[in-house]
Amino acid sequence: MWSRLRDRDHGRTALAGAASATAAANTLVHTDDAHASDERADPHRTAAFFDVDNTLMRGASIYHFARGLAARDLFTTRDLLRFGWGQMVFRISGSEQRNHINAAREAALAFVAGHKVDDLVTLCEEIYDETMADRIWEGARRLVRRHLDAGQRVWLVTATPVELADIIKRRLGLTGALGTVAESVDGVYTGRLVGDLLHGPAKAEAVRALAELENLDLTRCTAYSDSYNDLPLLSLVGHPNAVNPDDDLQRHAHTHGWPVHDFRRHRTALTVGLPSAMAGAVAGGVLVGLLRRRRPL
230 given a catalytic annotation: no
What letter does residue 133 receive in the DSSP assignment? G
Q: How confident is the model at residue 39 (pLDDT cuts 50, 70, 90)?
A: very low
pLDDT of residue 262: 96
Reported pTM:
0.75
Rounded to the nearest 5°, which phi and psi values hold at 83?
-75, -35
Tens of pLDDT, residue by residue over 255-294, are 999 999 999 875 443 334 344 444 444 444 444 444 444 4
Give me the pLDDT at residue 51, please: 96
Q: List residues bridging with 57 in a β-sheet.
A: 53, 136
Neighbours of 240 (CB within 10 A): 23
The catalytic residue among 51, 79, 226, 230 is: 51
3-state secondary structure of 180: strand
Amino acid occupying residue 195: G
| Domains delineated in the chain | 1-27+41-60+135-261 (3.40.50.1000)
Task: Quote the percentage of the chain above a pLDDT of 70.
Answer: 61
Give the C-alpha separation, 214 to 282, whole Å.
32
Q: Which of 38, 53, 196, 230 is catalytic?
A: 53
Is residue 51 annotated as part of the catalytic site, yes or no? yes
Average pLDDT, the chain: 75
Pick the most confident of 76-90, 169-183, 279-293.
Answer: 169-183
Phi, psi of 241, rounded to the nearest 5 degrees: -135, 140
Q: Is 263 exposed, middle or buried (0-12, 13-18, 19+ CB in 10 A)?
A: middle
- pLDDT score at 12: 65
Given a cut of 90, is residue 253 above it in pLDDT?
yes
